[in-house]
A and B are shown apart, each in its own frame.
Chain A
């Protein structure tokens, strides 16, 4: 029996209508079938998943069930450390790495009783917008196999779209949950920076990275966020604020103040994408929401800010992959291939780090180098403050902001692979949310020629509960999110 949502599957488990083993076997079958068609997995953990499902069923029989995720199958973006299980970040330099510890998010999911089916594809070290930079190859879009699933959490979005588990855990540094969610017709939330621990999440840009769920519905995302959010003493930027209840009640849209920033509806926006988002705005209006135009004048600079701050942090974070302590190394594969320490570093990093990651390391090294630091990095930090202040100002008058998630439709495999700037522009509507550290969601809002379109909801600092409530209210009145691709 197929259950479309996590919430329905959890209810069926609670009512004794199914077992975790049955859900897990079915989800594994879809995971394996979808992987053959779309290349979405980096690791399928069939035996471990079935053992975890049986353990969940045993807890249920004993009356010691842990919570709503107990026995629910899910997939994990291959960017989180998992003790004893290989973690690759979709990079050749980490293909041989088996972590000696687990990420906080993984530990919290393990403690919730959720059943991990395996790991899913990402751009290498999450650097990309299409999964095309993955050392495992591209993940294809379940709605059109000639197009990309988006990225970097393309494996997560594709898995959630085809029902390979009832949710997936992704990460978002510049749009990496929201853009693939839009491209695959699933719901995804990037929480406020610091809301979910980054401990054990392999770092890309540490001041921007944030973990979040992708699932069929906003209510499903709420159930998952409830488990993974919260303070972590291991992580210095983890927020100490108490975690509210995320699962929304019956929400009304009457009186909701929705801001529509005009900078997100400008040149380059596909007219049919705009039409679907405009239709969503009209639905909000028809339900009594108050729609108003707002202005965020620094928005055109947000992408440039991002492509200075993020590579600067990348160049620092990637320094740890040096062929000395772990991962692939010229020392292991070509004994005698390096004659001093510099050669060990340079040959290892030249051979095993992919081209896009190398590009960002070089860019980051450039913007931090002597003579350029003030002109680039310090200026970017200054404009980042302006972007943040404009959002703070906007949220004095509105409850949420509503925009398109992406300017266009899912693009073709290979279409932008050799044009980094064109690929970077994929993040143009999502990146300001990361620059400001705010929560953002992508919610399905229609189709154009069989391809999904997402709208983005942006909330104030720690406004996840409001975002989820608004998205759930929209989904209670629409059916776009219930469309299911044929594999």
Chain B
């Protein structure tokens, strides 16, 4: 049985969790992982690549959206018709 490293997973998943909730999730997720571990008993080989799947490629076309204003209306931070994003890291001297 595997035990989850909840703080590590929360960081990977970009989730800020209060300690209390993280502890709660630890218990619940361990139970779920214990359940799905039963798959190890299933008798099945690795998936083949000829399972009837095919690539579907969309036509590569440029579309102009007439409703830019409606789209930007839902954006939390905008400036000059652009989406504002905070710096990836302030340590690198970028400003927000």
Question: Which A residues are within 8 Å of any B CB, using their own CB?
Answer: 84, 96-98, 100, 236-237, 298, 300-301, 304-305, 307-308, 315, 319, 322-327, 329, 331-332, 338-347, 349-351, 353, 355, 358-359, 361-363, 365-367, 369, 372, 375-376, 378-386, 388, 420-421, 424
Which 10 residue pairs across A and B have the least CB separation, nearest first? A350-B16, A329-B76, A346-B16, A326-B74, A345-B14, A236-B56, A331-B76, A382-B44, A100-B70, A381-B47
Assess whether B45 is interfacial by the CB under 8 Å rule.
Answer: yes
- B1-15 near A? 1/0 per residue, CB < 8 Å: 010101001111111
In the complex, chain B residues whose CB is within 8 Å of the CB of A347: 16
State the CA gap A358–B25 with chains docked (Å). Answer: 9
Q: In the complex where A338-B86, A344-B86 touch, is A315 in contact with B13 (Cβ < 8 A)? A: yes
| B66 CB → nearest A CB, Å | 10
Decide if A363 touches B14 in the complex (CB within 8 Å).
no
Decide if B96 touches A362 in the complex (CB within 8 Å).
no
Q: Which residue of A lies closest to B57 (CB)?
A: A236
In the complex, chain B residues whose CB is within 8 Å of the CB of A346: 11, 14-16
Decide if A378 touches B46 in the complex (CB within 8 Å).
yes
| A395 CB → nearest B CB, Å | 15
- B80-96 near A? 1/0 per residue, CB < 8 Å: 00010111111000001
Q: Which residue of B lies closest to A347 (CB)?
A: B16
In the complex, chain A residues whose CB is within 8 Å of the CB of B31: 420-421
In the complex, chain B residues whose CB is within 8 Å of the CB of A372: 2
Q: In the complex where A236-B56, A365-B12, A372-B2 touch, is A308 in contact with B87 (Cβ < 8 A)? A: no
Residue contacts A-B, CB under 8 angstroms, 14 given: A323-B76, A324-B76, A329-B76, A340-B96, A349-B13, A349-B15, A362-B10, A366-B4, A375-B40, A376-B39, A380-B39, A382-B44, A386-B42, A386-B44
Decide if B29 touches A383 in the complex (CB within 8 Å).
no
In the complex, chain A residues whose CB is within 8 Å of the CB of B85: 324, 341, 344
In the complex, chain A residues whose CB is within 8 Å of the CB of B45: 382
Interface of B is mostly: loop
Contact of A340 among B17, B25, B48, B90 (CB under 8 A): B90
Contact of B17 among A358, A380, A381 (CB under 8 A): A358
Q: Which residue of B lies closest to A330 (CB)?
A: B76
Decide if A342 touches B15 in the complex (CB within 8 Å).
no
In the complex, chain A residues whose CB is within 8 Å of the CB of B12: 365, 369
Assess whether B32 is interfacial by the CB under 8 Å rule.
Answer: yes
State the CA gap A379–B1 with chains docked (Å). Answer: 16
Decide if A304 touches B38 in the complex (CB within 8 Å).
yes
Q: In the complex where A308-B36, A355-B21 touch, is A379 in contact with B13 (Cβ < 8 A)? A: no
State the CA gap A315–B32 with chains docked (Å). Answer: 16
In the complex, chain A residues whose CB is within 8 Å of the CB of B65: 100
In the complex, chain B residues whose CB is within 8 Å of the CB of A361: 13, 15
Q: Which residue of B lies closest to A387 (CB)?
A: B44
State the CA gap A332–B74 with chains docked (Å). Answer: 11
| B8 CB → nearest A CB, Å | 9
Decide if B32 touches A341 in the complex (CB within 8 Å).
no
Within 8 A of A (CB), among B42-61: 42-48, 51, 56, 58
Q: In the complex where A345-B14, A420-B32, A424-B32 touch, is A385 in contact with B70 (Cβ < 8 A)? A: no
Assess whether B33 is interfacial by the CB under 8 Å rule.
Answer: yes
Q: In the complex where A362-B25, A363-B32, A376-B36 touch, is A236 in contact with B46 (Cβ < 8 A)? A: no
Q: Among the interface residues A100, A301, A367, which one has the most CB atoms of the partner chain B within 10 A?
A: A100
Q: Which residue of A lies closest to B28 (CB)?
A: A420
In the complex, chain A residues whose CB is within 8 Å of the CB of B4: 362, 366
State the CA gap A344–B15 with chains docked (Å). Answer: 10
Decide if A350 touches B15 in the complex (CB within 8 Å).
yes
Decide if A304 touches B36 in the complex (CB within 8 Å).
yes
In the complex, chain A residues whose CB is within 8 Å of the CB of B38: 300-301, 304
Contact of B29 among A300, A325, A362, A386 (CB under 8 A): A362
Contact of B39 among A308, A339, A351, A388 (CB under 8 A): A308
Q: Which residue of A lies closest to B74 (CB)?
A: A326
Contact of A383 among B9, B25, B32, B42 (CB under 8 A): B42
State the CA gap A369–B2 with chains docked (Å). Answer: 13
Sample of 10 more A-B contacts, CB < 8 Å, known A341-B87, A383-B44: A100-B71, A324-B85, A339-B90, A341-B85, A342-B14, A365-B9, A366-B9, A378-B46, A386-B42, A424-B32
Decide if B40 touches A379 in the complex (CB within 8 Å).
yes
In the complex, chain B residues whose CB is within 8 Å of the CB of A424: 32, 35
State the CA gap A380–B39 with chains docked (Å). Answer: 7
Assess whether B62 is interfacial by the CB under 8 Å rule.
Answer: no
Assess whether B23 is interfacial by the CB under 8 Å rule.
Answer: no
Decide if B16 touches A379 in the complex (CB within 8 Å).
no
| B20 CB → nearest A CB, Å | 12
State the CA gap A305–B44 with chains docked (Å). Answer: 12
